[in-house]
Protein backbone atom coordinates (compact mmCIF):
# COMPACT_ATOMS: atom_id res chain seq x y z
CA UNK A 1 0.00 0.00 0.00
CA UNK A 2 1.33 3.45 -0.93
CA UNK A 3 1.79 6.12 1.72
CA UNK A 4 0.53 9.68 1.19
CA UNK A 5 4.07 11.13 1.31
CA UNK A 6 5.01 8.91 -1.66
CA UNK A 7 2.45 10.70 -3.83
CA UNK A 8 4.00 14.16 -3.50
CA UNK A 9 6.25 15.33 -6.31
CA UNK A 10 8.70 18.21 -6.30
CA UNK A 11 11.09 19.85 -8.69
CA UNK A 12 12.63 23.10 -9.82
CA UNK A 13 9.79 25.60 -10.17
CA UNK A 14 11.69 27.34 -12.98
CA UNK A 15 11.34 24.24 -15.16
CA UNK A 16 8.23 22.52 -13.74
CA UNK A 17 4.90 24.37 -13.88
CA UNK A 18 3.27 22.35 -11.06
CA UNK A 19 5.64 23.19 -8.19
CA UNK A 20 4.23 25.70 -5.69
CA UNK A 21 6.55 28.70 -5.35
CA UNK A 22 6.93 30.36 -1.94
CA UNK A 23 7.82 34.06 -2.14
CA UNK A 24 8.72 35.66 1.20
CA UNK A 25 11.68 37.12 3.04
CA UNK A 26 14.38 34.63 4.01
CA UNK A 27 15.16 36.50 7.24
CA UNK A 28 12.56 38.30 9.37
CA UNK A 29 12.29 40.00 12.73
CA UNK A 30 10.47 37.92 15.36
CA UNK A 31 6.87 39.05 15.71
CA UNK A 32 6.79 41.16 12.55
CA UNK A 33 3.90 40.61 10.16
CA UNK A 34 5.31 39.19 6.93
CA UNK A 35 3.60 38.53 3.60
CA UNK A 36 3.87 35.04 2.15
CA UNK A 37 2.84 34.58 -1.47
CA UNK A 38 2.41 31.09 -2.91
CA UNK A 39 1.74 30.56 -6.59
CA UNK A 40 1.81 27.75 -9.12
CA UNK A 41 3.26 28.31 -12.58
CA UNK A 42 5.51 31.28 -11.83
CA UNK A 43 7.99 30.76 -14.69
CA UNK A 44 5.92 28.40 -16.83
CA UNK A 45 2.21 29.14 -16.79
CA UNK A 46 -0.03 26.36 -15.54
CA UNK A 47 -3.31 25.94 -17.46
CA UNK A 48 -6.47 27.15 -15.80
CA UNK A 49 -9.24 25.39 -17.67
CA UNK A 50 -12.19 23.26 -16.69
CA UNK A 51 -10.22 20.19 -17.77
CA UNK A 52 -6.80 21.08 -16.26
CA UNK A 53 -6.34 23.34 -13.23
CA UNK A 54 -4.92 23.78 -9.74
CA UNK A 55 -7.58 22.81 -7.20
CA UNK A 56 -5.93 24.02 -3.96
CA UNK A 57 -2.80 25.25 -2.18
CA UNK A 58 -1.97 24.47 1.46
CA UNK A 59 0.65 26.28 3.55
CA UNK A 60 2.29 25.00 6.76
CA UNK A 61 5.00 26.30 9.10
CA UNK A 62 7.30 24.00 11.07
CA UNK A 63 9.26 25.87 13.75
CA UNK A 64 12.80 24.60 14.38
CA UNK A 65 12.81 22.04 17.18
CA UNK A 66 9.09 21.24 16.89
CA UNK A 67 7.68 17.86 15.86
CA UNK A 68 4.54 18.98 14.07
CA UNK A 69 3.78 21.79 11.63
CA UNK A 70 1.11 24.46 12.12
CA UNK A 71 -1.31 24.89 9.26
CA UNK A 72 -1.20 28.47 8.00
CA UNK A 73 -4.02 28.07 5.52
CA UNK A 74 -5.87 25.93 3.00
CA UNK A 75 -6.87 27.86 -0.11
CA UNK A 76 -9.31 26.38 -2.63
CA UNK A 77 -9.76 27.51 -6.22
CA UNK A 78 -13.15 26.35 -7.40
CA UNK A 79 -14.05 28.38 -10.50
CA UNK A 80 -12.37 27.18 -13.69
CA UNK A 81 -14.73 28.30 -16.41
CA UNK A 82 -17.39 25.70 -15.73
CA UNK A 83 -20.82 26.56 -17.03
CA UNK A 84 -24.14 25.00 -18.00
CA UNK A 85 -23.17 26.04 -21.54
CA UNK A 86 -20.15 23.71 -21.33
CA UNK A 87 -16.49 23.66 -20.31
CA UNK A 88 -14.48 26.90 -20.41
CA UNK A 89 -17.50 29.04 -21.18
CA UNK A 90 -18.26 30.21 -17.65
CA UNK A 91 -18.07 33.81 -16.46
CA UNK A 92 -15.31 33.40 -13.84
CA UNK A 93 -11.91 31.78 -13.39
CA UNK A 94 -9.93 31.78 -10.14
CA UNK A 95 -6.15 32.17 -10.34
CA UNK A 96 -3.84 29.77 -8.46
CA UNK A 97 -2.01 32.33 -6.30
CA UNK A 98 -2.56 33.36 -2.71
CA UNK A 99 -1.00 35.86 -0.30
CA UNK A 100 -1.30 35.40 3.43
CA UNK A 101 0.39 37.18 6.32
CA UNK A 102 2.10 35.48 9.26
CA UNK A 103 4.05 36.35 12.40
CA UNK A 104 6.67 33.90 13.61
CA UNK A 105 8.60 33.82 16.86
CA UNK A 106 11.07 31.07 15.92
CA UNK A 107 12.98 30.25 12.76
CA UNK A 108 11.62 27.37 10.75
CA UNK A 109 10.42 26.09 7.41
CA UNK A 110 7.41 27.04 5.34
CA UNK A 111 5.91 24.19 3.33
CA UNK A 112 3.52 24.58 0.42
CA UNK A 113 1.60 21.86 -1.34
CA UNK A 114 -0.77 22.01 -4.26
CA UNK A 115 -3.06 19.70 -6.20
CA UNK A 116 -3.32 19.63 -9.99
CA UNK A 117 -6.49 17.80 -11.00
CA UNK A 118 -4.52 15.84 -13.64
CA UNK A 119 -0.92 15.66 -12.39
CA UNK A 120 -1.45 15.15 -8.68
CA UNK A 121 0.23 16.48 -5.55
CA UNK A 122 3.24 18.82 -5.55
CA UNK A 123 5.31 20.34 -2.76
CA UNK A 124 8.06 22.81 -1.95
CA UNK A 125 9.71 24.30 1.14
CA UNK A 126 11.54 27.47 2.19
CA UNK A 127 13.52 28.14 5.36
CA UNK A 128 12.98 31.40 7.26
CA UNK A 129 15.54 32.72 9.73
CA UNK A 130 14.97 35.18 12.60
CA UNK A 131 17.15 38.28 12.75
Catalytic residue list = 16-18, 46, 52, 116, 119
64-69 own/partner pairs: CB under 8 Å, 24+ apart:
64/106, 64/107, 64/108, 64/109, 65/106, 66/106, 66/108, 69/111
Nearest-angstrom CA–CA distance, 32 and 80: 35
The secondary element (H helix, E strand) that includes residue 109 is strand 108-116
Pairing status of strand 70-76 against strand 54-63: antiparallel
Amino acid sequence: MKQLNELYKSGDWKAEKHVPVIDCAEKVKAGDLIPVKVSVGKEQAHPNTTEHHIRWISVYFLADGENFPCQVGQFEFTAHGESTQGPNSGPVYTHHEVTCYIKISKPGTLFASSLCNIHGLWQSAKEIAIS
